[in-house]
Structure 1
Amino acid sequence: MMRRAMKNSKFTGYFMRFTLFKNTFLILLLLGFSCGSGDKGNQIPFSEENTEESEARSSKSEAGSIDKDDTIVMGAEQFDTYSGLLRNKTVGVVANQTSVISAEQQSIHLVDFLVSKKIDLKKVFAPEHGFRGTADAGELIKDGMDVSTGLPIISLYGKNKKPSQQQLSGLEVMIFDIQDVGARFYTYISTLHYVMEACAEAGIPLIIMDRPNPNGHYIDGPILEIQHKSFVGMHPVPVVHGMTIGEYAQMINGQGWLENKKQCEIKVIKMLNYDHQTAYSLPVKPSPNLPNDTAINLYPSLCFFEGTVVSAGRGTNTQFQVFGAPSLPAEFFPYTFTPQANEGAKHPKFKGEQCNGLDLRNTKKMNKLNLEWLIEAYVGYGKKKEFFNDFFTNLAGTTKLQEQIEKGYTYPEIRATWLRDLDAYDAMRKKYLLYK
Structure 2
Amino acid sequence: MMPFLKPFKSTYLFLVLFLIFGMTIYGQKKNNSIEVGAERFDLYLPLLEGKKVGIVGNHTSIIVKENKENDFTHLADTLLSLKVQVKKLFSPEHGFRGSADAGELIVDGKDTKTGLEIVSLYAENKKPTAAQLEGIDIMVFDLQDVGVRFFTYISTLHYVLEACGELNIPVIILDRPNPNAHYIDGPVLELEHTSFVGLHRVPVVYGMTIGEYGQMIVGEKWLLNEVQCDVTVIPIKNYNHKKRYSLPVKPSPNLPNDKSINLYPSLCFFEGTNVSVGRGTEMQFQIYGSPFLNDREFQFIPKPNNGSKFPKHEGLICYGKDLREIEDLEQLNLEWLLDTYQQNTYENPYFTIFFTKLAGTKKLQEQIEQGFTEKEIRKTWRDDLRDFKEIRKKYLIYR
**TM-score, length of structure 2 as denominator length:** 0.91
Q: What percentage of aligned pairs have identical amino acids?
A: 59
Residue 68 of structure 1: how far off its partner (Å) = 6.3
* Cross-structure match for 1:431: 394
Q: Relative to structure 1, is the Cα distance of residues 146 and 414 closer, same or farther in structure 2, using a 3 angstrom cutoff? A: same
| Aligned partner of 1:129 among 87, 94, 99 | 94
**Separation in 2 of the partners of 1:124 and 1:244?**
22
Given residue 90 of structure 1, which amino acid in structure 2 is its aligned partner? Answer: K
* Cross-structure match for 1:83: 45
Given residue 300 of structure 1, which amino acid in structure 2 is its aligned partner? Answer: P
* Cross-structure match for 1:148: 113
| Aligned partner of 2:171 among 193, 206, 214 | 206
| Aligned partner of 1:297 among 233, 258, 262 | 262
1:188-247 per-position Cα deviation (integer Å, ceiling 9, x unaligned): 000000000000011100000000000001100000000000000000000001100000
* Cross-structure match for 2:190: 225
* Cross-structure match for 1:315: 280
Residue 103 of structure 1: how far off its partner (Å) = 4.2
**Separation in 2 of the partners of 1:279 and 1:383?**
40
Match of 1:376, SS? helix
1:387-412 per-position Cα deviation (integer Å, ceiling 9, x unaligned): 00000000000000000000000111
Check the 8 A contact 2:174/2:234 in 1, yes or no.
Answer: yes
**Separation in 1 of the partners of 2:158 and 2:372?**
35
**Separation in 2 of the partners of 1:364 and 1:267?**
37
Residue 419 of structure 1: how far off its partner (Å) = 1.0
**Separation in 1 of the partners of 2:80 and 2:161?**
24
1:117-142 per-position Cα deviation (integer Å, ceiling 9, x unaligned): 00000000000000011101000001
* Cross-structure match for 2:213: 248
Check the 8 A contact 2:109/2:119 in 1, yes or no.
Answer: yes
| Aligned partner of 1:95 among 54, 57, 61 | 57
Residue 383 of structure 1: how far off its partner (Å) = 3.8
Match of 2:225, SS? helix
Given residue 401 of structure 1, which amino acid in structure 2 is its aligned partner? Answer: L
**Higher-RCO chain (CA-CA 8 Å, sequence separation at least 6):** 1
Check the 8 A contact 2:128/2:163 in 1, yes or no.
Answer: yes
**Separation in 1 of the partners of 2:64 and 2:344?**
48
Deviates more, 1:411-420 or 1:191-200: 411-420
| Aligned partner of 2:32 among 70, 78, 82 | 70
Ranges in structure 1 where 5+ consecutive residues have no aligned partner: 1-65
1:318-353 per-position Cα deviation (integer Å, ceiling 9, x unaligned): 000000001111xx3410000000011000001111
**Separation in 2 of the partners of 1:205 and 1:285?**
29
Ranges in structure 2 where 5+ consecutive residues have no aligned partner: 1-27
**Separation in 2 of the partners of 1:267 and 1:299?**
29
Residue 81 of structure 1: how far off its partner (Å) = 1.1
Match of 2:87, SS? strand
- How large is the Cα RMSD of the aligned pairs? 1.3
Higher Rg of the two aligned structures: 2
Check the 8 A contact 2:292/2:346 in 1, yes or no.
Answer: no
Q: How does 1:382-393 map to 2 (within 5 A)?
A: 382-383=345-346, 386-393=349-356
Check the 8 A contact 1:312/1:319 in 2, yes or no.
Answer: yes
1:417-436 per-position Cα deviation (integer Å, ceiling 9, x unaligned): 10111111111101100000
Match of 1:426, SS? helix
* Cross-structure match for 1:13: none
**TM-score, length of structure 1 as denominator length:** 0.83
Residue 362 of structure 1: how far off its partner (Å) = 1.0
| Aligned partner of 1:325 among 271, 286, 290 | 290
Match of 2:336, SS? helix
Check the 8 A contact 1:224/1:235 in 2, yes or no.
Answer: yes
Check the 8 A contact 1:77/1:103 in 2, yes or no.
Answer: no
* Cross-structure match for 2:317: 354
Residue 67 of structure 1: how far off its partner (Å) = 9.7
